Amino acid sequence: MIPRVLTSPTPDTDIIVIGSGIAGLVAALRCRAHGRVLLITKALLDAGSTRWAQGGIAAALDPADTPAEHRADTLTAGVGLCDESAVETLVTEGPGAVRRLIALGAAFDTTPAGALALTREGGHHRHRIAHAGGDATGAEISRALLEALKDSGVEVVEHALVLDLLLDARGRAAGVTLRLMADAPAPVAVRARAVVLATGGLGQVFQATTNPEVSTGDGVALALRAGAEAADLEFVQFHPTVLWLGPDARGRQPLISEAVRGEGAHLVDHDGARFMTGRHELGELAPRDIVAKGIMTRMRETGTSHMLLDARHFGAAMWERRFPTILAACRFHGIDPVTEPIPVVPAAHYASGGVRTDLDGRTSVPGLFACGEVACTGVHGANRLASNSLLEGLVFAERIAAALGDHLPEPGPPVPTRPPRLLPATARATIQATMTAHVGVLRNADGLNTAEQTLADLAPRPHGRVAGDAGSPRAAVEVPVAPAGGAEEGAAGDVAAWEATNLHTVATAIVAAARRRAETRGSHWRDDYPDADDAWRGHLVVRRAGDGLTADFEGHASIRDEETR
């Protein structure tokens, strides 16, 4: 039996889940107990980011480990911006959630004695990373969840791009509009009592990324258009060790898992010197932002295009047993890590920020929930700790399902809305080139101002730009995005145009936040403000404001002082 895959959705359901990574699949499976569930995915069910996850899933599963130690490592990596209640939720509920995943059928690697074979990654002081198939953890998790989906009764629509949120007269989520990619030229409306965003990341906003082609920030863009808040978008994590394929590499790049360094691989420059030694107590296993900065700094110092990851001492047997996927990818591209160092460079990997939620996944729009990479639960702060991403998707998807079981109100009828005026599909290349050149690992005011202007020129506003003091936490800045257009214009646009428009919205939001944050913290590195500043120990919250976006600073006392709806 296979999941019930529909060629077109029914006109109404109880709960819509958008996305088929670990967060979306777990949310759909757990929500099924509360009513009808429609799972919508942009490509095939297994085409999201989860299947590409190599390293593993972090949790205090070793008897010698504790949630408190996992919490401490997570807070350190987040550089003062983690929400401590969210981190506490993650690390205390994480072990049980992983065990439930195992009970569902996920087969993690074990030791000869039958215990979980745990490894270590950057930022962790313990061996707490559970992995599967050596370096194919995401593929195994995806397989197990899709197997469980077969008998669940969850309805599935593949190859469908969700366009916008339907809202009732009170501003409550009432469903979605979507575009079936196969042959339907007009959007389809599906009503629901709750909508769960699990759309994954936004890595395609850059020219080179570890994310799949479908990761175009659709969930964040949809949420902003619907009036939801997004937070911490300036903190885009660049994975330190991505296989360098040359200066013209574009799209999804092969990842060299952090677990390779966890097993003892060394970062070296072209003279063979280990340049991370002395930069951090953990050396090559420092948090990812520190390693990425170390690589970029050494590249600048030596005038080279990449650094090297040396794991020749592993030997062929260990490479074939522990990292078969990475070994095959390297050899496909003409590199044999058994006999030569691997050329590596940082590339866009993970969005630590996203649609702001409470501890049960509720956003600022009633009836709209978010989990996984699209969400900002507060767990990651300024820099995600390695292998916390799969755990976050798992834990908070379960919490959303529990919350929906307690309360699933009926929204009113949807009210008419205007879709955005779509950018041409060709704008995608300009957006990606702009973000790569000016909003990558290294940032400064001149580059960010150039990026803001270039993006504004792609979507000019009739009322001009509203500037603000980019160096002050208290100054509001409004920047333009693609304005609303007529219904016919939005309905007729093709998928590539919608993706370009979503990328533009997300890029504009990232630049607005990055331009405001006048400090270096976590994965946000400003050449012109090289130090962390306590005045910026808080969150930049992006909201829709007319035809633009505002990035407003909120102090770090709490982002949940008032219960969200």
- pLDDT, tens digit (0-9, with 9 covering 90-100), for 249-294: 888 899 998 889 989 999 999 999 999 988 888 889 888 888 998 9
Does position 491 have pLDDT exceeding 60, yes or no? no
Q: Give the range with max mean pLDDT: 1-5, 202-206, 460-464, 476-480.
A: 202-206
Higher model confidence: residue 122 or residue 269? Answer: 269
Q: Facing residues of 463 across strands? A: none
Per-residue pLDDT, 105: 95
Does position 564 have pLDDT exceeding 50, yes or no? no
CATH of the domain at 333: 3.90.700.10
* Any domain includes 274: yes
Per-residue pLDDT, 8: 61
Residue whose structure tokens are 């730009």: 465
Tell me which of 306, 323, 346 is where a domain ends: 346
Average pLDDT value for residue range 358-371: 98
CATH of the domain at 530: 1.20.58.100
Per-residue pLDDT, 173: 97
DSSP codes of every residue in 468-500:
--TT-TT---EEE-PPB--HHHHHH--HHHHHH
Per-residue pLDDT, 279: 86
pLDDT band at 212 (very low <50, low <70, confident <90, very high): confident
Say how many C-beta atoms besides its own lie within 10 A of residue 267's C-beta: 24
Q: Are residues 424 and 548 in the same domain?
A: yes
Q: Are residues 337 and 429 in the same domain?
A: no
Catalytic site positions: 288
* Any domain includes 29: no
Say how many C-beta atoms besides its own lie within 10 A of residue 93's C-beta: 18
* Any domain includes 3: no
* Any domain includes 551: yes
Per-residue pLDDT, 22: 96
Q: Are residues 318 and 422 in the same domain?
A: no
Alpha-carbon span 487 to 489, nearest angstrom: 5
Q: Are residues 340 and 423 in the same domain?
A: no
> How is residue 513 annotated by DSSP?
H
Per-residue pLDDT, 461: 54
Does position 476 have pLDDT exceeding 60, yes or no? no
Total domains present in the chain? 2
The rounded mean pLDDT for the chain is 89
Q: Are residues 426 and 311 in the same domain?
A: no
Expressed as residue numbers, the domain containing 342 is 241-346
Q: Are residues 337 and 422 in the same domain?
A: no
Higher model confidence: residue 8 or residue 534? Answer: 534
**Could you tell me which residues come within 8 angstroms of residue 65 by beta carbon, excluding any fewer than 6 positions away?**
126, 127, 128
Average pLDDT value for residue range 183-210: 90
Does position 477 have pLDDT exceeding 50, yes or no? no
* Any domain includes 375: no
DSSP codes of every residue in 381-422:
TTSPPTTHHHHHHHHHHHHHHHHHHH--PPP-PBPP-PPBPP
* Any domain includes 121: no
Least confident window among 51-60, 116-125, 181-190, 443-452 = 181-190
State pLDDT tens for residues 17-46: 999 999 999 999 999 999 999 999 998 887
**Could you tell me which residues come within 8 angstroms of residue 90 by beta carbon, excluding any fewer than 6 positions away?**
74, 377, 379, 388, 391, 392, 395
In terms of Cα–Cα distance, which of 330, 314, 325, 306 is closest to 264? 314
Q: Are residues 246 and 331 in the same domain?
A: yes
Per-residue pLDDT, 130: 95
* Any domain includes 539: yes
Tell me which of 302, 319, 346 is where a domain ends: 346
Average pLDDT value for residue range 193-214: 94
**CA distances from residue 33 to 9, 13, 103, 202 in whole angstroms, order as listed:** 20, 13, 18, 31
Least confident window among 123-137, 227-241, 364-378 = 123-137
The percentage of residues in the chain with a pLDDT greater than 70, rounded to a whole number, is: 89
Q: Are residues 531 and 442 in the same domain?
A: yes
Least confident window among 94-98, 454-458, 469-473 = 469-473
Higher model confidence: residue 283 or residue 65? Answer: 65
Q: Are residues 551 and 422 in the same domain?
A: yes
Tell me which of 346, 378, 403 is where a domain ends: 346
Q: What is the pTM of this model?
A: 0.89
Does position 80 have pLDDT exceeding 70, yes or no? yes
State pLDDT tens for residues 301-335: 999 999 999 999 999 999 999 999 999 999 999 99
Contact 448, 471 (CB under 8 A): no
* Any domain includes 391: no
